[in-house]
Amino acid sequence: MTAVHRISAVALALTLAGVTAATASTPAPTPHWAQLQTHQLPNPAQREEGDGEDALEVADMAEQYAQQRSLPADTVSAAALIAARAAAQWMPQARARSTELTTTGMNPEPAGYTDPVWSNLGSGFQSVAGRTTSLAVSGSTMYAGAADGGVWRSTDGGRHWVSIWDHKPTLSIGTLTITTDKALWVGTGEANTNSDSYLGVGIYRSTSGGSSLSRVGGSELMNHQVFRIVDDGMGTVYAATSQGLYRHSSTSAAGAWQLILKPDPNPTGSPYATSFITDVVVRPGSGGKQVLAVLGWRNGSSYNGFYLSRTGGARGSFARITPGGAIDAEDIGRTTFAYSTKGDRLYAVVQSPEALLAGEDSVLQGVYVSATGNPAGPWRKIADADSLMKTGSALTFEGYHPGIQAWYNQFLTVDPADAKHIYVGLEEVYESRDGGATFTTISPYWNYGLACGDACPKTTHPDQHAVAIAGGKVVIGNDGGVFSRPTSKVGSGSWTSLNATLRTLQYYDAAAGKMGPGTAYWGGLQDNGTSLIKPGGTPIEPAGGDGGYVLVDPANANRAVGEYVGLLMYSTTDGGHSFTTISPVCGGYRGANCDPGARFIAPFQADVKNTNTWVAAGTKVWRTTKGWATTCSGTTCDWKPVHTFGTDGAGLSRMGTALAANGATIYAGWIDGIASPSPTFATGIDTNYGGSWHRITSPVLPNRFVAGLTVDPANPAHVYAVYNGYSRRWIPGGGEGVVFESTSGGRTWRNISGNLPDARGDALAIVGGNLVLGTDVGVFLATTSAPTMWRRAPGLPNSSANSVRPVPGAQAVVIGTHGRGTWRIDF
């Protein structure tokens, strides 16, 4: 996996701008600005090589998702994931039934949900799915690649989608390409340098529309992320990856990939100096001779820049070139290229490492054109943040301008029928029909604050990643799925959501509760807020932005708590129609004891004996006994700190990772504030079992991320701990085991992993006499009386099961997967 994620653009901008969702034209207060500014900045010791002091706030905030899966190492080989999946497939199946709950796209603007801070009503987003990273079109067939949801195929313009990828080793997709022989090529490993993506396991090829796929080559591209695959039309394909540029025959899957460009020698083995080749293009009309690539590591390096081969892309034929004209050759970060059909015009979107490190409100160096198609230029700037703000953009407020996440949001394409008709994707989508002389924002970030007000046409979800033009339509992929509109359309609007059956939502957590005679399900998602599925209903999004943990009253699902990043919690007692912000982090709450920090996705739980007693964790453990009457604002807060985790060897505050409570007893997992590999790296569990807080020590427990804690409702001394990451086979110092049990309040432990695969554990639930464990390679069941004998739950796709929660009144659990929505397992 990569080591970097991003904060949700929707939620961050909502927080910074203070924009209401009640109407499209009326701004609301800015209640969360202070929290974001005071508690979300990463520690300097957590930064990557070459980072500025406070420059990567947006890029670094969610770094933890990847770290928890690799610590105490920097990264883990994708071979570990393959081995774990293979082991899981050989396990006996449990007698259980898996049912998919999120069978449709999610409605982000449900009628009647008008909370003035958290609702999306009026945004114009339309039906949404999970993050779409790549698109490809072949005739009437369309393919979509998802961040952790695999590859989907549609033969009717996106009205109906079918998964063709559920049982591959990884569902993390970087790019899709259709070659001249109509073969589908799939590059695995999402390449957006964000944290919640996995390293790839190679590139696959299909000549049957995805019905059967063969991995191309051997293990050469294991652990790579693939930015783009390009066919030169002369029998060769090129793969731009996170570890260099490769090439292979386009007519066969046989034979090894050849590494042809890897400029950075990376003598120290840094995970950030691996030669991120963010794009490669072959100039049309050159007979495959002119191949242009860019090393575009987002933070910059002495090797970043353009590399050109004029002799067909052979190893040793690439030379670094200095682009002439307006491009600053010393400030080239992530870059995307696009040629016109004839190769007579070349466009580029260039991110600026200098702006990223300086923490500026846009990190876009600019959009450029070489009017002759010559990679050496001269290049002319045709757009930048300032000019794009004047084209109908919604990103005109302080601190958040077009290109603020250009290291993460990028696409660029040229209309095959018109060399001057281009589409540029950043957070928004921009179009030019005159070669860049003028632009129009055709998909604003949202409709709030625009002059058209309530009359604005529907837009799309923000944060753009993929684009394709075919059949008279432009199709885009972003953090909300897939959207399209006619290429003939001028101005904004006319977008159609294609997400009705694209089932790729990315959950961090999901929980269930009774609602009338049925069961309702709440969940927190990546960039799609907090969701609710009412009995017999489809998913809606009462609260926008990023979601995180959820807490639901088992007896009344109208009462729930959701979370924006960093323990910014909000509660509802009316099923999400209105919310009250109840966070103890510094900012909205200004008490002297406020919490100065929390993890990106920070834990909170209800007491297993009392749904009105809650615990939460940032740098401290917090407790409230007032349930849904809890308030916290100004200098008054019903949350009370009951424990502080202390500081690590670098003097940084430790932060909570997992919680469980039974009456007066609390168990709290924590991680060092540095949260990255170091000789003194440590995680652990603190508890007050026995009456006073103390740190658990045990030679049985591994030194890995504590992902889950579950306490027996009948016995506060009986607790289970779930660990993320892999064993010492894959991670030096990783120890052994996934799940552990203590019946003595943590004094002694036993490893109950038994026949489980060596996989990343995520969460565990106790349902009757059963244990249900969620991992990155599936869900497993055992009994409390024979907890080392595990069976695999059938019927689930190969997506990570980030959360497992009991369904009240049933022998069942609800599973939140990070890429394939929510599922229910009855057993």
Residue 378: asked if its preceding bond is cis (omega within 30°), the reply is: yes
Q: Quote the pLDDT of residue 10.
A: 34
Query: Averaging pLDDT over each range in 68-72, 271-275, 332-336, 673-677, which range is the top one?
Result: 332-336
Contact present, 35 and 545 (Cβ < 8 Å): no
pTM: 0.93
Instruction: Map residue 162 onto helix, strand or coil.
Output: strand
Q: Quote the pLDDT of residue 67.
A: 77
- Residues of the chain with pLDDT > 90: what percent? 83
Instruction: Map residue 614 onto helix, strand or coil.
Output: strand
pLDDT above 50 for 745: yes
pLDDT above 80 for 747: yes
pLDDT tens-digit profile of 556-567?
999 999 999 899
Average pLDDT over residues 386-415: 95
220, 221, 244, 248: which is closest to 234 by C-alpha? 248
pLDDT above 80 for 488: yes
Average pLDDT over residues 475-495: 97
Average pLDDT over residues 389-411: 95
Count of CA atoms in the C-beta half-sphere (13 A) of 581: 26
- One-character DSSP codes across 560-592: EEEEETTTEEEEESSTTSS-EE---BBTTB--T
Question: Which pair of tokens denotes residue 512?
Answer: 């269930």
Q: Quote the pLDDT of residue 399.
A: 87
Q: For residues 23 and 494, which has the higher predicted lDDT (pLDDT)?
A: 494
Q: Quote the pLDDT of residue 68.
A: 83
Average pLDDT over residues 162-187: 95
Strands (E), 371-472: 379-383, 411-414, 422-425, 429-432, 440-443, 464-470
- Displacement of CA 191 from its chain's centroid (Å): 11
pLDDT above 50 for 391: yes
Helix (H) or strand (E) holding 34: helix 33-39
Average pLDDT over residues 108-120: 94
CA angle 143, 144, 149 (to 5 degrees): 130
Q: For residues 306 and 198, which has the higher predicted lDDT (pLDDT)?
A: 306
pLDDT grade for 30, boundaries at 50, 70 and 90: very low
pLDDT above 70 for 805: yes
Q: Quote the pLDDT of residue 281.
A: 98
- Residues of the chain with pLDDT > 70: what percent? 92
Strands (E), 663-714: 665-671, 683-687, 694-695, 706-712
Average pLDDT over residues 283-311: 97
Give residues with Cβ within 8 angstroms of 808, minimum separation 6: 512, 513, 514, 519, 554, 555
Question: Which pair of tokens denotes residue 68?
Answer: 């928890």
Contact present, 16 and 399 (Cβ < 8 Å): yes
pLDDT above 80 for 460: yes
Candidate from 56-70, 427-441, 603-617 with smallest mean pLDDT:
56-70
Average pLDDT over residues 727-740: 91
290, 312, 221, 215: which is closest to 262 by C-alpha? 221
- Displacement of CA 647 from its chain's centroid (Å): 29
pLDDT tens-digit profile of 527-554?
999 999 999 999 999 999 999 999 999 9
pLDDT above 50 for 38: no
pLDDT grade for 195, boundaries at 50, 70 and 90: low
pLDDT above 90 for 685: yes
Contact present, 726 and 759 (Cβ < 8 Å): yes
pLDDT grade for 24, boundaries at 50, 70 and 90: very low
pLDDT grade for 60, boundaries at 50, 70 and 90: low
pLDDT above 80 for 66: no
Contact present, 46 and 66 (Cβ < 8 Å): no
Q: Quote the pLDDT of residue 63.
A: 61
pLDDT above 50 for 11: no
pLDDT above 80 for 4: no
Centre a 10 Å sphere on the Cβ of residue 220 and count the other Cβ atoms it contains. 18
Q: Quote the pLDDT of residue 272.
A: 86
d(CA 822, CA 816): 5
d(CA 503, CA 521): 16
d(CA 33, CA 739): 39
Q: Quote the pLDDT of residue 78.
A: 85
Q: Quote the pLDDT of residue 42.
A: 25
Q: For residues 562 and 5, which has the higher predicted lDDT (pLDDT)?
A: 562
* DSSP-derived secondary structure letter, 816: E
pLDDT above 70 for 232: yes
Candidate from 36-50, 160-174, 232-246 with smallest mean pLDDT:
36-50
Candidate from 119-123, 147-151, 192-196, 802-806 with smallest mean pLDDT:
192-196
Mean confidence (pLDDT) of the chain: 90
